[in-house]
Amino acid sequence: MHELSIVASLFEILEEKAKEQKAKKIISVKLKVGALSGVIPEFLETAFDIYKKDTIAAESTLKIEEVPLKIRCQRCDTEIVKDDFVFICEKCDSRELETLSGTELLLEKIELEV
């Protein structure tokens, strides 16, 4: 499971941040997960819950904001939110598309108790 290694690196960051802020515990963690990031939010949640035991984040909750795939056609400048992954402009059938969002995997926010 790809998500386990992501969660492992996430926890390295969390522990570092907690140390920096001299936090007692981590209350919540918010991630932004793009539709094209290759990460499945449910797997990420499961991995997080397994991993958090006996860490500073043991009682924390994970919030995931799913970011849809958004593209812009370079020919007709239309912006489209895709729920399928068919990379063709709906207006002009162009395949020259630019990805605006949906590939990200970001640590958006950490809530700490100091």
Q: Which residue's CB is nearer to Zn ion, number 69 or number 110?
A: 69
Interface residue list for Zn ion (CB under 5 A): 73, 75-76, 78, 89, 91-92, 94
Closest CA to 110 of 44, 17, 22: 17
Beta carbon of residue 36, minimum distance to Zn ion (angstroms, whole number): 19
Q: Which residue's CB is nearer to Zn ion, number 69 or number 112?
A: 69
Beta carbon of residue 88, minimum distance to Zn ion (angstroms, whole number): 9
Q: What is the DSSP letter of 39?
A: -
Beta carbon of residue 81, minimum distance to Zn ion (angstroms, whole number): 14
Q: Which residue's CB is nearer to Zn ion, number 25 or number 75?
A: 75
Beta carbon of residue 86, minimum distance to Zn ion (angstroms, whole number): 13
Q: How far is CA 33 from CA 6, 57, 73, 91, 92, in A?
A: 12, 20, 23, 27, 29
Number of neighbouring beta carbons within 10 Å of residue 67? 18
Q: Which residue's CB is nearer to Zn ion, number 24 or number 95?
A: 95
Sorted by sequence, the CB contacts under 8 Å of residue 92 that are 6+ apart come out as 73, 75, 76, 78
